[in-house]
Structure 1
Amino acid sequence: MTSGRLGAFFGLSAWMPYIKDAKEAVTTDPPEVHQARMRSLISTCTHILKIEPFTPVTDIEESVTDLPVYLGHGIDDVLINISNCHDLSVTFQQIGSTLEVHEYVGAQREGH
Structure 2
Amino acid sequence: MDSDFPEPHIRLPQGPHTHTAILLHGRGSNGPEFADELFSSSTSTGKSLPSHLPTFRWVFPTSKDRWNARFEEDICAWFDAYSLTDITEHQQSQIPGLQESVSYILNILEDEINLLDGKTTHIYLGGISQGMATALWTFFCASTKVEGRLGGVIGFCGWMPFAERFGDDLGNEDLDLDGGRRVVEFCSGIVRGEVEGDIDMRVLGTPVLLGHGVDDPMVPVELGRQVLGIVKRAGVQVEWVEYVGAEGDGHWIKEPEGFDAILKFLASGSGDA
Q: TM-score, normalised by structure 2?
A: 0.32
Q: Does 1:63 align with 2:203?
A: yes
Matching residue of 1:46: 188
Note if 1:12 corresponds to 2:156.
yes
- Contiguous gaps of at least 5 residues in structure 1: 29-33
- Give the structure with the higher percent helix: 1
| Aligned positions, number | 102
- Structure 1 residues 17-37: Cα deviation after superposition (integer angstroms, max 9, x where no partner): 11111337x723xxxxx54x8
Q: Distance in 1 between matches of 2:244 and 2:206?
A: 27
Which residue identity does 1:45 align to in structure 2? C
Q: Does the 8 Å CA contact 1:9/1:68 hold for their aligned counterparts? A: yes
Task: For structure 2, list consecutive stretches of 5 or more residues without a partner in the other structure.
Answer: 1-109, 111-117, 119-146, 252-273
Distance 1:56 1:111, change over 3 A: farther
- Tell me, in whole angstroms, the C-alpha distance in 2 between the residues paired with 1:63 and 1:4: 5
1:62-111 Cα distance to aligned partner (Å, 9 max, x none): 321x4311001111111110001111111111122221111121012221
2:210, 2:240 within 8 Å by CA — same for their partners in 1? yes
**Does structure 2 conserve the Cα–Cα contact (< 8 Å) formed by 1:13 and 1:85?**
yes
- For the pair shown, which has the larger CA radius of gyration, 1 or 2? 2
Equivalent pair of 1:89/1:99 in contact (CA under 8 Å): yes
Pick the aligned partner of 2:175 from 1, 24, 27.
Answer: 27
Distance 2:193 2:225 in 1: 29
User: How has the CA–CA distance of structure 1 residues 89 and 56 changed in structure 2, closer, same or farther, with 3 Å as cutoff?
Assistant: farther
Task: Give the conservation status (yes or no) of the 8 Å contact 2:158–2:224.
Answer: yes
Distance 1:38 1:76, change over 3 A: same
Counterpart of 1:59, as a letter, is D
Whether contact under 8 Å (2:207, 2:236) holds in the other structure is yes
The aligned counterpart of 1:97 is 236
Using CA pairs under 8 Å that are at least 6 residues apart, name the structure with larger relative contact order, 1 or 2.
1
Structure 2 CA distance for aligned equivalents of residues 18 and 46 of structure 1 = 13
Q: Counterpart of 2:213?
A: 74
Amino acid at match of 1:27: L
Q: Percent identity?
A: 29
TM (normalized to structure 1)? 0.69
* CA spacing shift, 1:10–1:55, aligned 2, 3 Å: farther
Task: State the Cα RMSD in Å.
Answer: 3.1
Aligned equivalents of 2:208 and 2:199: distance in 1? 20
Runs of 4 or more, structure 1, over 6 Å off, are none
Q: How many Å separate the matches in 2 of 1:68 and 1:55?
A: 26
Letter in 2 for 1:38: R
Contact 1:42 / 1:57 at 8 angstroms: preserved in 2? no
